[in-house]
Structure 1
Amino acid sequence: MAAYLGPSRALSDVVISPSHSLLAQSQEANEAKLSVNGDGFGIAWYGTQNEPGLFKDVLPAWSDSNLLSLCHHISAPLFLSHVRASTEGETARSNCHPFVYGNWSFMHNGQTGSFTALRRDLEASLPDELYALRHGSTDSELLFLLLLNAGLADHPEQACKAVIRQLKETAKRVKVPAFFRLTCIFSDGERLLCFRHASDGKCPTLYVSRTWMDDGVVVASEPLDGIAGHWDEIPPDCLVSFNQSATTWSSGSIAA
């Protein structure tokens, strides 16, 4: 996955053009659990509306000419993009990332151990209005809804803490191992936020560069130019937030 915040630029500058672009990673990822990510793709971008535009499909990213055309012709100051290798949920458009609600967009790499055992209790914790938004069957979409329910809009750091704690407590209650690997990128249309957490300390990778792309910040699961020295690793157990100027960022602990 990859996201951008800064002066408006074509989506293709991140998704397609770099030597190790997200499109390249869909066929040959270097640091992911699976090297091929061909179970769908999605892009969410913020333009003139409060809510993000959204395009996603179940085709492999490298075989969809619509994706290539859109990325060359859409420019935006903030966008998120994801290619999927399925771990939970069938290959369906409703299971492709990013997920959106109102002005929020969200995407996730990782896995939720014993998800079948956890799912019923976690879904039952959602109020009716959020449960009605549950269109797919992935742990990723459910994680997004849990974060919204925990107060993501008002207190992102506390919401992340609360959901990590909820996952652990639910696993204990239903008597399954608490095994979670979570690397997430999300946005409210103004900020770009991300965090990594893993119960076993092995978080899926996430990097940030504020110099590789002029005047903007890029967050990606792997360095898009293939040069590790141009990127810094996002630290685990911290919620990192980039503002619209893309020159400053803040972080806070989400360890629960």
Structure 2
Amino acid sequence: MCRLYGFFGTEPTKVECTLVHAQNALISQSRSDLAGYSHSHGWGVATFDHAGPDIERQAWAAYHGEHFARAAAQIYSRLVIAHVRRATVGGAAIENTHPFSDGRWVFAHNGTVPNFADIRPVLRERMTPGHRQAIQGETDSEHVFRYFLTLVETGAVDPEADLAGAIRRLVGEMYELTEKHAPGKKLGFNIILSDGQRMAGSRLNRTLHYVDRQGVYDCEICGFPHIHHDPKANYRAIVVASEPLTHEEWIEIPNGSIWQMSATDGIIVDSLGLQNDLQNTVPV
């Protein structure tokens, strides 16, 4: 179990308040989420500029010391992915800390691949040698990311033309592997994926919410706007998170969904189309 955060804005934006100062900021969730679980086994933040992703990761709790708060205070970006980790597969170590990256792609995961000990060799066998050798840690999440990149590299998916379709294929294959190697168990598969221009992901058997902010307004936490706004442009920002972070009206993304962010259409949600019934009681 982990806590996810994804930000997509039409202009570079400061996100320090929702990461550090909000009522249920990500740093607070690292100590205790709404269900009382801590997520103290590492944290990471990815931002993007013209040169590609810039990622800071640490293998200790976000609430320990000032490192996470300092990193959050420096963020001014159109896209942000942040993650606080509660370890299930692989110990607290920098190589097991999200987000994972390769080139322009950044990936973070909340959930668990059940019976990963049996699924791991299957994934590794399906990977290209380069992505198999690039794995540094033990997590199911990093293996899934490298398998996604294998699908891209081999042409099995084309995220340039259809990012949602690429994610659908990835989730579908992981779902089938879980059905085969962990019958009766539920795949936990909330992911966020970005190439620095787009952001998309899935919700499967973990909690996920979003808020759509249209127009420039003063932050309810600090009282100041978070952008240097171009008055000729319409501003819009969309945030997805495992838990609502503020007192705004957050909307739950339906379980078994794939989602994409759009500057014009907000968040676009579609069903993953999985055949079996989804878990009614969704764990954190």
- Do Structure 1 and Structure 2 share a fold, with TM-score over 0.5? yes
Q: Distance in 2 between matches of 1:230 and 1:64?
A: 31
TM-score by length of structure 1 reads: 0.87
| 1:248 paired residue among 266, 274, 278 | 266
Q: CA deviation at 1:176?
A: 5.2
> Is the Cα–Cα contact under 8 Å of residues 105 and 186 in structure 1 kept in the other structure?
yes
Q: CA deviation at 1:140?
A: 0.9
- What residue number does 1:43 align with? 45
- What residue number does 1:11 align with? 15
- AA of the residue aligned to 2:245: L
Q: Does 1:71 align with 2:72?
A: yes
- What residue number does 1:188 align with? 195
- AA of the residue aligned to 2:32: E
Q: Distance in 2 between matches of 1:246 and 1:134?
A: 37
> Is the Cα–Cα contact under 8 Å of residues 114 and 177 in structure 1 kept in the other structure?
no
Q: CA deviation at 1:110?
A: 0.9
Q: CA deviation at 1:83?
A: 0.4
Task: State the Cα deviation string for residues 231-255 of structure 1 (Å, max 9, x = none).
Answer: 1111222221112x26533333322
- What residue number does 2:277 align with? none
- What residue number does 1:101 align with? 102
Q: CA deviation at 1:2?
A: 1.0
- AA of the residue aligned to 1:165: G
Counterparts in 2 of 1:175 and 1:92: CA distance versus 1, 3 Å: closer
Matches within 5 A, 1:26-65: 26-31=30-35, 35-49=37-51, 51-65=52-66
Q: Distance in 2 between matches of 1:72 and 1:213?
A: 22
What are the ranges of 5 or more consecutive residues in structure 1 without an aligned counterpart? 198-202
| 2:165 paired residue among 122, 143, 158 | 158
Q: Distance in 2 between matches of 1:14 and 1:213?
A: 17
Q: Does 1:111 align with 2:118?
A: no
- AA of the residue aligned to 2:159: A
Q: Distance in 1 between matches of 2:6 and 2:178?
A: 31
- AA of the residue aligned to 2:89: E
Aligned residues: 245
- What residue number does 1:231 align with? 250
Q: CA deviation at 1:161?
A: 3.0
Counterparts in 2 of 1:220 and 1:172: CA distance versus 1, 3 Å: closer
- AA of the residue aligned to 2:192: I
Aligned-pair identity (%)? 24
Matches within 5 A, 1:80-159: 80-150=81-151, 151=157, 153-154=159-160, 155-159=162-166
What are the ranges of 5 or more consecutive residues in structure 2 without an aligned counterpart? 152-156, 217-235, 275-284
> Is the Cα–Cα contact under 8 Å of residues 212 and 230 in structure 1 kept in the other structure?
no
Q: Distance in 2 between matches of 1:2 and 1:15?
A: 9
Q: Which moved more, 1:120-129 or 1:213-222?
A: 213-222
Q: CA deviation at 1:213?
A: 8.5
> Is the Cα–Cα contact under 8 Å of residues 171 and 189 in structure 2 kept in the other structure?
no
- AA of the residue aligned to 2:171: I
The 3-state SS of whatever aligns with 1:142 is: helix
- What residue number does 1:200 align with? none
Q: Distance in 2 between matches of 1:88 and 1:39?
A: 11
- AA of the residue aligned to 1:218: V
> Is the Cα–Cα contact under 8 Å of residues 244 and 250 in structure 2 kept in the other structure?
yes
Counterparts in 2 of 1:246 and 1:9: CA distance versus 1, 3 Å: farther
Q: Distance in 2 between matches of 1:213 and 1:121?
A: 47
The 3-state SS of whatever aligns with 1:210 is: strand
